[in-house]
Chains A and B, each alone.
Chain A
Amino acid sequence: MTTAAVTADGRRTKAKPATMAQALGRALRDSMAEDPTVHVLGEDVGTLGGVFRITDGLAKEFGDDRCTDTPLAEAGILGAAVGMAMYGLRPVVEMQFDAFAYPAFEQLMSHVAKMRNRTGGAMPLPITVRVPYGGGIGGVEHHSDSSEAYYMATPGLHVVTPATVEDAYGLLRESIASDDPVIFLEPKRLYWSKADWSPEAPAPVEPIGKAVVRRSGRGATLITYGPSLPVCMEAAEAAVAEGWDLEVVDLRSLVPFDDETVAASVRRTGRAVVVHESPGFGGPGGEIAARITERCFHHLEAPVLRVAGFDIPYPPPMLERHHLPGVDRVLDAVARLQWEADS
C-alpha cells in the first residue's frame, strides 16, 4: 500500500513502506548533508555500515573522515567525541549494542553529562549517542539490555527513544540538532518494523521532550515507549472485546519527561499502567508512577500499576519471551485496575 505525501514545496511524492532502520540511516544522511560539522563514529560504522546497517553508505558518500571506523574501545570513542565537540563538531556515536556502552559510562557520567554545567555554560557538548537497546531479537547475553534507567538518572543527558518509523527519523534529526548530549535509544526489535513513509516529506516532529497520544480512550492510560509501544497498541485493541477503552501514550522522550501530556491523559482516564521491558525495580516505571501519583492523586480510581521486565539479568534467548511484557501481561494489569469500584 502506498499513500501520497506532500513535500514542503508542494510536490506530491509516493510514500513507500520503509523500515525504522532505513529511516534512521536517512536521518543520519540528511543531517550530515545539511551540516558539515556532523560526524559519525563508532565500531564497524564505515565499510560495513554498522552491524544493523544503519550507517550503510555514509562512509562512501561522506568519506572516512565524516563516518569513521574507530578502534574497538567505547570509552575512547565517546571520549574522542567529547574532544571533537569541544572543537565545534557534532559527533554522532554508535554504541554497537546496549551492554557494549558500559565501558563508556565514566566518560558519559563524568564528562558528557556534566561539561555544560562544569564550565558554567561555556562548553556545551552536542553529542548524540545512538544505543541499539532492548531484547526480543534472540540475541545472546549482553546484547539485549534495557539501560534507560541509568541514563535517566544522570542529569545533563537527554534520553530519547522512538517507537515509530516517522519518529525514528524526526527524533534523530532533532537529537543531532540539539546543543545538548542525547542518548538516543533505538529499539532493536523495531528496526525492521515498517510504515509508509516518504523521506522527501517526513512528518514534522516537535522538539524532543513531547509525548504523544497514539490511541485515544476514556477508561485507562497505558504509558509506554520504544519497544513496548506495539505491545500496548495491540493490547488496547484486544481490550475492546473486554469492554475496556484504553488510551496509549508514547513518551518518546524520557528526559525531559512530558508530565503535562501524561498527567492530562491520566486525569481524563483515572487509571494508568506503565509498560516497559527494562527491570521494574528502580526502573523508569517507578519514577513515572510516582510523578502521576503526585499530580493526579485525586483523579485516580486505582493505584498506578507497572508491567515491566523481571528483576533479572536479561535472560537467554530461548527464555526471553517469558521475560518481555506481552499483551497478556498488559491486559492482566488492566484487569486489576479496580474497574468494579468505578461502576
Chain B
Amino acid sequence: MTVQELPGAAAYRPTPPPAWKPITDPAPLLPDPEPYRVLGTDAVADVDPELLLRLHAELVRGRRYNAQATALTKQGRLAVYPSSTGQEACEIAAALVLEERDWLFPSYRDTLAAVARGLDPVEALTLLRGDRHTGYDPREHRIAPLCTPLATQLPHAVGLAHAARLKGDDVVALAMVGDGGTSEGDFHEALNFAAVWKAPVVFFVQNNGFAISVPLAKQTAAPSLAHKAVGYGMPGRLVDGNDAAAVHQVLSEAVARARRGEGPTLVEAVTYRMEAHTNADDATRYRVDSEVEAWKAHDPVRLLEHELTGRGLLDDEGIAQAKEAAEHMAAALRDRMNADPELTPMDLFTHVYAEQTSQLREQAAGLRAELDAEQDHDEHGAEAGR
C-alpha cells in the first residue's frame, strides 16, 4: 500500500508543532565577555576601605601560609601540599563572604579558604599531613571535609543547601572547584540539581589555567566556564580572580541572591596557579616562563597593595605589620607541625560504623594482641639490654 492510498491522506494538512516556549530567558544568564574588575577602576571608590585592608592582611597571611606549608613538605612534615599561591584572592574572598551559619565546601586545594574561615591552621592540614583524614568537626566550623575526588563535593553542597531551605534556615552553601573539575559528571549533575531545586548555592570555579598539566583549551570548548551556567538556567559570572575586591563583590552578590531564594549562581574566577600542581609535580614540563612572568605582574597581593598605597590607605609600616603578623602565624604553624602527632592504631576500627560489626571486633582484638606483643617485646628487650 502506498502513502497515496491511505484513507484520508488527501485531506491531511501538515500542522506546525505545538508551541514551544523556552523555560528561561537565556540573555540575563550570560556572563560579560570580560572578567569583572574593581581594583584600578572607578568601582573601587564604592568599596569599604576597611574591607580592602582586611583583604590585604588576609592575602599576606595566606601567601605566607602557602610558603610555609610548601616548606613543610620539603622537611617531610607534610605528605603533600597543593599550593594556592597566586590564587589567594579567590581563597580569601570565598571565606569572607560567608556568614557564620553558611557552609563552605572546599576542594583539596582550598586549605587557605578553610583557614581564613577560622579553622585551626594545623587542623586544616591533617589530611595532607597523613595522620587523619579530617582533623576538624565539619559541623562545628560548617566546612565540609577537604575533598580529594574532583567535584564530588558539589552535589553535597546542593543537598545541604536544599535541606537547609526545607528546614526554613537562612543558609547558603559555597562550593569550590577547579577548572579541571568542571569536566566531571558530578559538576554537571550538581549544577542541574541546584538550578531545578533553586537551591541556595554558589558554585565557585577557580580557573587557574591547568588541571595538573592540561591547559584549559584541552579541558573545554566553551567560550568560558561561566558560560556553562546558561545551560542549567542559572546566571554565570566571570571575574578577575586576582582582584580580591572584585571576587569579594561578585561572590557577595551571588550569596545574597541565593539568600533571597533566587537560586544558584556559577562564578568563574580567572586566575593562575603560580606554583606546580603539588610539590610532586614539575610545572616546567607543560608551561613557559613568559606566561608565569606575565601573571606575576598581575599578582593578587601586589594588585591590592598598589591600590591601597596609591590611595594612602596603607604605607610601608602597614605592609611591614601585615608581614609580621604572617610571620607569627608561620612560626606557630612550624612549631606545632614539628611535633609528632599522637596516633592511636585502635582508632582504625572506631569510626567505620556506629556500632562495630562482629567482623571488626575480631580484627580489632587481633590488632590489640599485636600491639600488646610489640609492647611486651619492647619492654623485655629493654630489660635484657640493661
Taking Cβ atoms with an 8 Å cutoff, the residues of A that contact B are: 39, 65, 70-71, 73, 75-76, 78-89, 91, 103, 106-107, 110-111, 114-124, 155-156, 158, 178-180, 209, 255-260
> Are A79 and B189 neighbours in the complex by a CB distance under 8 Å?
yes
> Are B159 and A84 neighbours in the complex by a CB distance under 8 Å?
yes
List residues of chain A with CB within 8 A of the CB of B162: 80, 83-84
List residues of chain A with CB within 8 A of the CB of B311: none
**What's the least CB distance linking A95 to chain B, in Å?**
14
List residues of chain A with CB within 8 A of the CB of B193: 70-71, 73, 76, 80
Cβ 8 A contact of B189, one of A76, A111, A123: A76
List residues of chain B with CB within 8 A of the CB of A86: 138-139, 144, 156, 159-160, 163
Give A89's nearest chain B residue, CB to CB: B163
If over half of B's interface residues share one DSSP class (helix, strand or loop), that class is named, otherwise mixed; here it is helix
Interface size bracket, B side: 35 or more
> What are the 9 closest A-B residue pairs judged by CB atoms, nearest first?
A83-B159, A79-B155, A76-B189, A80-B159, A83-B160, A256-B357, A87-B163, A83-B156, A118-B133
> Are B354 and A179 neighbours in the complex by a CB distance under 8 Å?
yes
> Are A71 and B192 neighbours in the complex by a CB distance under 8 Å?
yes
> Are A259 and B186 neighbours in the complex by a CB distance under 8 Å?
no
Give A91's nearest chain B residue, CB to CB: B159
Q: List 21 A-B contacts (CB under 8 A).
A: A39-B166, A65-B166, A71-B193, A76-B192, A79-B155, A79-B156, A79-B158, A79-B189, A80-B158, A83-B155, A83-B163, A88-B163, A103-B185, A107-B186, A117-B351, A118-B133, A120-B132, A122-B139, A123-B137, A123-B138, A257-B358
Given A76-B186, A76-B193, A156-B353, decide whether A122 and B167 contact each other with a Cβ distance below 8 A: no
List residues of chain B with CB within 8 A of the CB of A121: 350-351
> Are B190 and A84 neighbours in the complex by a CB distance under 8 Å?
no
Q: Is B134 an interface residue (CB 8 A)?
A: yes
> Are A117 and B133 neighbours in the complex by a CB distance under 8 Å?
yes
List residues of chain B with CB within 8 A of the CB of A65: 166
**What's the least CB distance linking B38 to chain A, in Å?**
32
Cβ 8 A contact of A111, one of B139, B156, B185, B351: B156
Q: Is B145 an interface residue (CB 8 A)?
A: yes
Cα of A39 to Cα of B152 in the assembled complex, Å: 21
Cα of A121 to Cα of B357 in the assembled complex, Å: 16
Report B198-218 residues with CB < 8 Å from chain A CB.
none
List residues of chain B with CB within 8 A of the CB of A178: 354
> Are B353 and A83 neighbours in the complex by a CB distance under 8 Å?
no
Q: Is B174 an interface residue (CB 8 A)?
A: no
Cα of A87 to Cα of B160 in the assembled complex, Å: 6
Give A68's nearest chain B residue, CB to CB: B197
Q: Is B161 an interface residue (CB 8 A)?
A: yes
Q: Is B41 an interface residue (CB 8 A)?
A: no
Residue interface bits B8-40, CB-to-A below 8 A is 1, else 0: 000000000000000000000000000000000
**What's the least CB distance linking A143 to chain B, in Å?**
22
Cα of A258 to Cα of B359 in the assembled complex, Å: 9
Most buried by A among B133, B159, B347, B357: B159
Give B145's nearest chain A residue, CB to CB: A118
**What's the least CB distance linking A109 to chain B, in Å?**
9
Q: Is B251 an interface residue (CB 8 A)?
A: no
Cα of A117 to Cα of B166 in the assembled complex, Å: 27
Given A80-B155, A83-B163, A122-B137, decide whether A260 and B358 contact each other with a Cβ distance below 8 A: yes
Cα of A62 to Cα of B163 in the assembled complex, Å: 16
> Are A87 and B138 neighbours in the complex by a CB distance under 8 Å?
no
List residues of chain B with CB within 8 A of the CB of A118: 133-134, 145
Cα of A86 to Cα of B153 in the assembled complex, Å: 12
List residues of chain B with CB within 8 A of the CB of A89: 163, 166
List residues of chain A with CB within 8 A of the CB of B67: none
List residues of chain A with CB within 8 A of the CB of B185: 75, 103
Give B146's nearest chain A residue, CB to CB: A118
Residue interface bits B339-374, CB-to-A below 8 A is 1, else 0: 000000001001111100111000000000000000
> Are B149 and A110 neighbours in the complex by a CB distance under 8 Å?
yes
Given A106-B186, A110-B152, decide whether A83 and B158 contact each other with a Cβ distance below 8 A: yes
Q: Is B69 an interface residue (CB 8 A)?
A: no
Cα of A158 to Cα of B359 in the assembled complex, Å: 13
> Are A180 and B152 neighbours in the complex by a CB distance under 8 Å?
no
Most buried by A among B137, B155, B157, B354: B155
**What's the least CB distance linking B153 to chain A, in Å?**
8
Cβ 8 A contact of A156, one of B152, B166, B352: B352
List residues of chain B with CB within 8 A of the CB of A111: 149, 152, 156
Given A75-B185, A79-B152, decide whether A257 and B352 contact each other with a Cβ distance below 8 A: no
Q: Is B51 an interface residue (CB 8 A)?
A: no
List residues of chain B with CB within 8 A of the CB of A82: 155-156, 159
Q: Is B332 an interface residue (CB 8 A)?
A: no
**What's the least CB distance linking B123 to chain A, in Å?**
11
**What's the least CB distance linking A65 to chain B, in Å?**
5
Report B155-198 residues with CB < 8 Å from chain A CB.
155-164, 166-167, 173, 185-186, 189-190, 192-193, 196
List residues of chain B with CB within 8 A of the CB of A88: 163, 167
Cα of A115 to Cα of B149 in the assembled complex, Å: 13
List residues of chain A with CB within 8 A of the CB of B158: 76, 79-80, 83
> Are B134 and A73 neighbours in the complex by a CB distance under 8 Å?
no
Q: Is B244 an interface residue (CB 8 A)?
A: no
Most buried by B among A39, A103, A256: A256
> Are B145 and A119 neighbours in the complex by a CB distance under 8 Å?
yes
Cβ 8 A contact of B357, one of A70, A115, A257: A257
**What's the least CB distance linking B198 to chain A, in Å?**
12
Give A155's nearest chain B residue, CB to CB: B352
